[in-house]
A and B are shown apart, each in its own frame.
Chain A
Amino acid sequence: GEDVEQSLFLSVREGDSSVINCTYTDSSSTYLYWYKQEPGAGLQLLTYIFSNMDMKQDQRLTVLLNKKDKHLSLRIADTQTGDSAIYFCAETPRGRTSYDKVIFGPGTSLSVIP
């Protein structure tokens, strides 16, 4: 079956690094995404990685993909209070004919302590 799992809560101190983890079950996934949802707002795409990549870096964000363990992580360096939000991991299984099969995790609520 298709499932995406994440821890529901993470708390870090300002200036530290945050690591949000995600595991997925569909090994055929082609795209894996991280979305950010700030309070009272919709989801915004933070970054994504193709399944043929191991790592992607974008400024303070580093995405690591371990295909063998079906594990995806998002590292936020120098975490700021503005990073407090819910972070959703999502996958698009291979071979799907429409994006309705984007599978979202339950979201990790990141709290940054000043």
Chain B
Amino acid sequence: NAGVTQTPKFQVLKTGQSMTLQCAQDMNHEYMSWYRQDPGMGLRLIHYSVGAGITDQGEVPNGYNVSRSTTEDFPLRLLSAAPSQTSVYFCASSRDRRNTIYFGEGSWLTVV
């Protein structure tokens, strides 16, 4: 049972480059989301999705795009990376809004 799988685990980007963080879950969860984690700030929601074809912005959406073409996948795109996007990114999923949130292992991104 894989749960929530994120790739890559580590990535270094140059300012201005674009990339996609992949997230997949095999639990048939409707709810998926992306968080970023910065020291002393906890987790901040970037984007979320309540089902295939439906996405919405979270607390810190600027500089990121998402799409949800299938229930399983929820990729996060950085269009033009900036040093301020250096962070640890977590993908998460849950069955519905009252259920436990399951987190991926995290993706460490450094923008130089």
Residues on A facing B (Cβ under 8 Å): 4, 8, 31, 40-45, 48, 88, 96-100, 102, 104-107
Check if B42 sits within 8 Å of A107, measured CB to CB. Answer: yes
10 A-B pairs within 8 Å (CB atoms) are namely A8-B40, A40-B106, A41-B105, A42-B105, A42-B106, A96-B97, A98-B97, A99-B96, A99-B98, A99-B101
Q: How many A-B residue pairs have CB under 8 A?
A: 51
Bitwise, B38-63 to A at CB < 8 A (1) or not (0) is 00111101001010000010100000
User: Is the CB of B31 closer than 8 A to any CB of chain A?
Assistant: yes
Contacts of A104 in B (CB 8 A): 42-43
Contacts of B103 in A (CB 8 A): 42-44
User: Is the CB of B25 closer than 8 A to any CB of chain A?
Assistant: no
How far apart sit A96 and B101, CA to CA, in the bound complex (Å)?
Answer: 15
Q: How far is the CB of B46 from chain A (nearest CB, A)?
A: 10
Contacts of A102 in B (CB 8 A): 101
Contacts of A31 in B (CB 8 A): 98
Check if A99 sits within 8 Å of B42, measured CB to CB. Answer: no
Q: How far is the CB of B50 from chain A (nearest CB, A)?
A: 6
How far apart sit A41 and B6, CA to CA, in the bound complex (Å)?
Answer: 11
Check if B42 sits within 8 Å of A100, measured CB to CB. Answer: no
Which residue of B33, B96, B104 is within 8 Å of A100 (Cβ)?
A: B33
Q: How far is the CB of A65 from chain B (nearest CB, A)?
A: 18
How far apart sit A102 and B43, CA to CA, in the bound complex (Å)?
Answer: 10
Q: How far is the CB of B100 from chain A (nearest CB, A)?
A: 5
Bitwise, B83-106 to A at CB < 8 A (1) or not (0) is 000000010001011101111111
